[in-house]
Amino acid sequence: MSDRHEVSHMIVRVARAHQLAATCLLRPLGLYLGQELLLMRLWERDDQSQADLAKALSLDPSTVTRTVRSLEQQGLLTRRPSERDRRALVVSLTDEGRALRDQVEHAWSELERAALAGMPDRQRAETLRVLRRLEGNLTAALPEIRAACPPGVPGDPGDPGDPHHP
Amino acid sequence: MSDRHEVSHMIVRVARAHQLAATCLLRPLGLYLGQELLLMRLWERDDQSQADLAKALSLDPSTVTRTVRSLEQQGLLTRRPSERDRRALVVSLTDEGRALRDQVEHAWSELERAALAGMPDRQRAETLRVLRRLEGNLTAALPEIRAACPPGVPGDPGDPGDPHHP
DNA sequence: CATAAATTATTGGCATGCCAAAGAAAACGG
DNA sequence: CCGTTTTCTTTGGCATGCCAATAATTTATG
């Protein structure tokens, strides 16, 4: 063992186990992983622009675009142009979308229950503290890390010369 | 706030921040997220079958297939049929693959450093304990959760009747 | 020993998620 | 007031990751 990156490894493992469980719990509700987060955000505050959602969920705008469209096709929410800002779209819940709330929250409660199983209150509080600290540390470090992260690709072709034109 | 699912929410946030940072750090090395885990496993123990890798990394075999092929095309590893088991493929590192080790481990050390920044040793140990506990709890709960997880789809067409044939 | 069952790898489909680029519309500047 | 810059959304490309189904081979079973 003697791993010098144990915390990172554990973060990866915890995340995958959590995702797998969430995927399973969400499936009977007809939702894919990630869609529930968008809905939760809308349950907390309805009628938001996609940009707001992207910011609140720390998601790429393009991801929000596609997930919102998927949820729209499922009839859980609505997209209509904003009147104040003619380039923004306002996302609103439908009755169907509101109706899903209880089930989704129940699923997430099971997830929470599983994660914290067998922990006394003290330990649960400590768990939350630790996670908050990790999140704070990582998001604090992100700007610096991203600054050193050059744009471009992994399989960098070096010089595209003429990257195809419309 | 008064969120009843704070831990789950934090797990999601920690995971995304971690992934984002890792993606950035790996990019200059020409690696995508996840590929480094496979390589790390091979650095620890070379010449493994894909099934072994899948099990060790808790990955779906099909994911291993594709990631391994990608790494093979980058010249970092080799795939050759096993002699004992004629259906298995043995994955082995190339010199190039071995040469990447230092850089990847350095990148992960930065990740680890960022995650644990400003924590005294005591707190680092506690962090690890918490993550181990979460992982243990979630993977312990997974079988039961998956048992209740019906196969089939989200947008279930109910009865496909004739799900198209080759 | 033949037959049923489990294992290994692959393919195709689908979803999330990122980045990069592009078109509209708004905010900002001189 | 016009030009520049920022913001909002979308599209296309690419990668990971899952599931389901298939083919080949091994192992277990009666």
Residue B154 is predicted with a pLDDT of 57
Residue B147 is predicted with a pLDDT of 85
- What is the Cα–Cα distance from A70 to A77, expressed in whole angstroms? 9
A58 CB within 8 Å of a chain B CB = yes
Residue A148 is predicted with a pLDDT of 81
Residue A1 is predicted with a pLDDT of 56
Range A13-19 average pLDDT: 96
| Pair of tokens at residue B117 | 């920044």
Give the helix/strand (H/E) hosting B110: helix B101-116
pLDDT band at residue B156, thresholds of 50, 70 and 90?
low
**pLDDT single digits (tens) A88-132:** 999 999 999 999 999 999 999 999 999 999 999 999 999 999 999
**pLDDT single digits (tens) B37-58:** 999 999 999 999 999 999 999 9
Cβ neighbour number for residue A9 with a 10 Å cutoff: 18
Q: Write the class of the CATH domain A8-116.
A: mainly alpha
**pLDDT single digits (tens) A51-73:** 999 999 999 999 999 999 999 99
pLDDT band at residue B159, thresholds of 50, 70 and 90?
very low
Cβ neighbour number for residue B35 with a 10 Å cutoff: 21
Interface of B with A in 102-141 (CB under 8 A): 105, 108-112, 114-119, 123-124, 126-128, 130-135, 137-141
Range A11-34 average pLDDT: 96
Name the residue in chain A with its Cα closest to that of B140: A114
Nearest to A17 by CA among B152, B102, B134, B2: B134
CATH, domain B7-116, list 3.40.1160.10, 1.20.1300.10, 1.10.10.10, 3.90.1150.10: 1.10.10.10
- What is the Cα–Cα distance from B34 to A104, expressed in whole angstroms? 29
Name the residue ranges covered by the structural domains of chain B. 7-116, 121-147
**pLDDT single digits (tens) B1-21:** 568 899 999 999 999 999 999
Residue B136 is predicted with a pLDDT of 96
Residue of B149 and A96 predicted with greater confidence: A96
Query: What is the spatial distance, in angstroms and rounded to an integer, between the CA atom of A86 and the C1' atom of D2?
Result: 21
Give the helix/strand (H/E) hosting A132: helix A121-147
Q: Which residues make beta-bridge pairs with B73?
A: none
Residues 17-36 of A with CB under 7 A from strand D: 20, 23
| pLDDT of B163 strictly over 50 | no
| Average pLDDT score, chain A | 90
